[in-house]
């Protein structure tokens, strides 16, 4: 029987505050019983996670949601409730791993015998924590939620949670503006072009490496253009200065340089702690160094999709449109002591050279590169009045990338799945019939993506992942089953639903 069914039978009211109280009680029980066992290295991480659930950040975030429950939308309330039920299931399974009165032999053999299950539970609880923190962050970004409770304990915990979340809200408010302006590019600093991305490698004077993003401003004499580029890059740097790479799918920036010699600003991203050897997702999808039949784990691919989607959520939440979501704008680092291709690594959304604020006018500039065009929403190809770039277009591009991750091939590679985006036809050349290839029209491209998604994804990653891709390409239906014509450019609810769907995937 499911945990939800068991709760219903025992008469527990399935409301968010009641389930939160039950989660905390479960955590307290597990923490108490845990002390009966030796604290071996294998399960110390789990002990810390349970302690965090009862006394730390997890507890504070739960109290935050308990205090604002009556202010949540029904959709978000349903998401939180589903996550809490999943958490209860994890805690219930943990309870089954710990007996009530262990003997000496059980205590000595506990860590070795249960190590695999414990590691799995650690992963589940960590992922649960990130999901809740992500939703709490977005709530704080888009509204001021004061606690509605008479309990001093709940109010104190909520206050701590809001303080933690407010630190992430710094991505909106920003630090001291002067701190992100780093001045002139230091003498001796060297920029190296990468083969598959607009992002570059910046080697500093001290030998340290950073990821660099370029924002050109024409010439020093074009003051208006330079000032406009400066305002965008400064606003972006202020938000990225507060990015948390571990939970947000975005790299933290320590500011930007003015490279006056080449008339450009250079946004700098230090390597995250414990990360090395960055490569673009495009590089991985078209990898020829390793066996062609190499297949990465489904878990790695789904996690990659989740983190890329999370990065785009925070770009939108910070008030920007990315405008260039494709595999060249996703950098994947190897983790410490791990190496590709045994592990896919940790992805981060980059590619900010075309980014703009949501409330700024769309320039409706034509994209000439066909490898970028294949990620653009059909509307963006028309460039007519009213065809301004919106969050919907970013999400469409995300859907194409998620499809590539499922197929583990690139649409920009005509020897891979990219061959499906071209049509062969006969044409006259010098009086003779020859076979030529031309790209599909934008509307036909969309139809092909949907066809490929429905055919290729279910056998590999299941129907739920397929639904996510279709939702990005086509839109999530309204309550009456119809598809919405557009999305408000500053609304994060759509992509939160996409993330919610991805989070329901277990492999």
Do 349 and 308 contact (CB within 8 A), yes or no? yes
Of the three residues 140, 173, 206, the one that is the final residue of a domain is: 173
Do 310 and 134 contact (CB within 8 A), yes or no? yes
What tokens were used for 100? 């009530």
Reported pTM: 0.71
Inside any domain, residue 391: yes
pLDDT at 13 over 60: no
What tokens were used for 188? 């001796």
Inside any domain, residue 283: no
Considering the chain, what percentage of its residues have pLDDT values greater than 70?
69
Q: What is the mean pLDDT of residues 445-470?
A: 93
If asked whether residues 23 and 100 sit together in one domain, one would say: yes
Cis before residue 341, ω within 30 degrees of 0? yes
Separation between Cα atoms, residue 287 and residue 306, nearest integer Å: 22
Do 7 and 14 contact (CB within 8 A), yes or no? yes
C-alpha distance from residue 414 to each of 287, 411, 438 (Å): 14, 7, 12
If asked whether residues 324 and 456 sit together in one domain, one would say: yes
Of the three residues 173, 195, 219, the one that is the final residue of a domain is: 173
If asked whether residues 248 and 384 sit together in one domain, one would say: no
C-alpha distance from residue 216 to each of 13, 220, 225, 357 (Å): 58, 11, 9, 17
Phi, psi angles (nearest 5°) of residue 292: -65, -25
C-alpha distance from residue 9 to each of 12, 85, 95, 414, 469 (Å): 8, 15, 19, 57, 37
If asked whether residues 251 and 369 sit together in one domain, one would say: no
Separation between Cα atoms, residue 310 and residue 332, nearest integer Å: 14
If asked whether residues 112 and 206 sit together in one domain, one would say: no
> What is the C-alpha R_g of the chain?
25
Q: What CATH number has the domain bearing residue 250? A: 3.30.200
pLDDT at 194 over 70: yes
Inside any domain, residue 278: no
pLDDT at 379 over 90: no
If asked whether residues 28 and 141 sit together in one domain, one would say: yes
Inside any domain, residue 282: no
If asked whether residues 47 and 121 sit together in one domain, one would say: yes
Count of the separate structural domains present in the chain: 3
Type and span of the H or E element at 432: strand 432-439
pLDDT at 143 over 60: no
Do 4 and 72 contact (CB within 8 A), yes or no? no
Do 84 and 11 contact (CB within 8 A), yes or no? no
Of the three residues 173, 196, 222, the one that is the final residue of a domain is: 173
What tokens were used for 491? 């609304």
Neighbours of 22 (CB within 10 A): 17
If asked whether residues 242 and 385 sit together in one domain, one would say: no
Inside any domain, residue 103: yes
Inside any domain, residue 450: yes
If asked whether residues 300 and 438 sit together in one domain, one would say: yes
- Quickly state the pLDDT bin for 207 (edges 50, 70, 90): confident
pLDDT, tens only, 240-294: 887 778 777 889 998 999 988 889 999 999 999 889 889 999 999 988 777 656 6
Q: What CATH number has the domain bearing residue 507? A: 1.10.510.10
Considering the chain, what percentage of its residues have pLDDT values greater than 90?
15
263 vs 118 pLDDT, higher one = 263
If asked whether residues 162 and 111 sit together in one domain, one would say: yes
If asked whether residues 367 and 503 sit together in one domain, one would say: yes
Q: Look at residue 288 in the predicted model and tell me its pLDDT.
A: 79
Do 314 and 233 contact (CB within 8 A), yes or no? no
205 vs 272 pLDDT, higher one = 272
If asked whether residues 342 and 476 sit together in one domain, one would say: yes
CA angle 99, 105, 110 (to 5 degrees): 55
**Which string of b and e fits 30-64 if b means at least 16 CB within 10 Å?**
beebbeebeebebbebbbebbbbbbeeebbbbbbb
- The whole domain housing 231 covers 175-273
Beta strands in 218-373 (DSSP E): 255-259, 264-270, 275-280, 320-321, 330-335, 346-349, 356-357
Inside any domain, residue 364: yes
Inside any domain, residue 287: no
């Amino acid at each position: 029987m499911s945990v939800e069914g068991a709760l219903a039978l025992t008469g527990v009211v399935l409301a968010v505050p009641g389930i939160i109280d039950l989660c905390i009680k479960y955590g307290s029980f597990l923490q108490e019983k845990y002390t009966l066992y030796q604290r071996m290295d294998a399960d110390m991480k789990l002990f810390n996670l349970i302690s965090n659930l009862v006394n730390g950040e997890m507890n504070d975030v739960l109290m935050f949601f308990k205090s604002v429950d009556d202010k949540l939308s029904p959709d978000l309330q349903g998401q939180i409730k589903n996550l809490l039920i999943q958490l209860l299931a994890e805690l219930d399974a943990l309870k089954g791993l710990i007996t009530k009165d262990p003997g000496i032999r059980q205590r000595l053999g506990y860590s070795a015998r249960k190590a695999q299950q414990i590691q799995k539970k650690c992963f589940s609880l960590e992922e649960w924590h990130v999901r809740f923190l992500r939703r709490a962050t977005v709530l704080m970004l888009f509204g001021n939620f004061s606690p509605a409770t008479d309990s001093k304990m709940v109010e104190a915990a909520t206050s701590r949670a809001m303080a933690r979340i407010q630190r992430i809200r710094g991505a909106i408010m920003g630090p001291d503006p002067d701190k992100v302006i780093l001045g002139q590019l230091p003498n001796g600093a060297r920029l190296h072009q990468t083969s598959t991305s607009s992002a570059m490698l910046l080697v500093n004077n001290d030998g340290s490496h950073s990821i660099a993003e370029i924002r050109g401003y024409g010439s020093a004499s074009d003051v208006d253009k330079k000032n406009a580029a400066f305002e965008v890059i400064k606003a972006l740097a202020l938000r990225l200065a507060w990015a948390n790479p571990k939970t947000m799918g975005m790299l933290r920036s320590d500011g930007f340089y003015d490279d006056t010699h080449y008339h450009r600003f250079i946004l700098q991203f230090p390597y995250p702690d414990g990360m090395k050897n960055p490569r673009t997702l495009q590089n991985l999808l078209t990898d020829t160094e390793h066996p062609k039949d190499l297949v990465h784990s489904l878990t790695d691919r789904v996690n990659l999709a989740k983190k890329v989607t999370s990065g785009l959520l925070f770009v939108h939440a910070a008030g920007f449109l990315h405008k260039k979501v494709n595999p060249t704008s996703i950098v994947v680092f190897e983790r410490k002591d791990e190496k590709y291709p045994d592990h896919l690594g940790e992805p981060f959304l980059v590619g900010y050279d075309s980014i703009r604020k949501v409330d700024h006018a769309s320039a409706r500039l034509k994209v000439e590169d066909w490898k970028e065009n294949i990620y653009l929403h059909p509307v963006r190809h028309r460039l007519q009045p009213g065809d301004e770039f919106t969050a919907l277009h970013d999400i469409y591009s995300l859907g194409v990338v998620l499809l590539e991750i499922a197929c583990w091939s690139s649409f920009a590679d005509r020897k891979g799945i990219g061959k499906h985006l071209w049509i062969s036809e006969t044409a006259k050349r010098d009086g003779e019939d020859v076979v030529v290839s031309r790209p599909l029209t934008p509307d036909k491209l969309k139809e092909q993506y949907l066809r490929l998604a429905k055919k290729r994804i279910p056998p590999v990653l299941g129907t739920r992942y397929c639904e996510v891709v279709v939702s990005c390409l086509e839109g999530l239906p309204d309550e009456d089953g119809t598809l919405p014509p557009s999305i408000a450019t500053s609304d994060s609810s759509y992509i939160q639903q996409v993330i919610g769907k991805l989070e329901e995937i277990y492999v």
